[in-house]
Chain A
Amino acid sequence: ETGVTQSPTHLIKTRGQQVTLRCSSQSGHNTVSWYQQALGQGPQFIFQYYREEENGRGNFPPRFSGLQFPNYSSELNVNALELDDSALYLCASSQSPNREQYFGPGTRLTVT
């Protein structure tokens, strides 16, 4: 059984640029949630996708957007990057909303 995978592992972008992060869910999982973890803090919920529809959103501006594909993989897009967007971005998949979430290895984004 393949676990949750994320790409890329590390990324460096310049302020104002756009970035796309990718996540492949664990086999049998149809729900993907994205979290932002700033250094020294706990993960903060960005949004969740269930069966290709957004199914909940945290307190993040609209420049954070996402997609889920028919195979349940997902993308997180961030436009107009700001320095404060520098963080570890974690993707988690689950069998359905409200079930235990399994986290991927994360993408470390640095905005300069």
Chain B
Amino acid sequence: ELKVEQNPLFLSMQEGKNYTIYCNYSTTSDRLYWYRQDPGKSLESLFVLLSNGAVKQEGRLMASLDTKARLSTLHITAAVHDLSATYFCAVDPANTGNQFYFGTGTSLTVIP
């Protein structure tokens, strides 16, 4: 069974601090996506990582992909309150009928 696991599941951090969210997956996939979801809202695309070693940065968020380790990270630099949300990673493996498999989600709370 294909699994996409994120850790931590819950993260409470102070403004100005750095932290990393991890996404491990159990199948071969060259593509990985990161989404943000605010309470009661839909998913907002953050990053699309399309190859091994891909690194993308937007503001205080940076995502990377290691397809050999089947690991992606989402690094938060100098967190601010506006980053409070739930973050999901999703993989798009080959030969699965074009399904996206989502991780368990990481609920981030940034404390002023």
Contacts and interface: CB of A to CB of B under 8 A. Distances in A.
Interface of A: 31, 33, 35, 40-45, 48, 50, 55-58, 90, 92, 97-98, 100-106, 108
A103 to B, nearest CB: 4
A101 B100 contact: yes
B23 to A, nearest CB: 11
Contact of B104 (A41, A92, A101, A104): A41
A48 B42 contact: no
Interface in B11-66: 33, 35, 40-45, 48
Given A42-B103, A43-B43, A104-B42, A48 B48 contact: no
Contacts of B44: 103
B99 A98 contact: no
Given A48-B97, A55-B97, A98-B92, A103 B102 contact: no
B41 A105 contact: yes
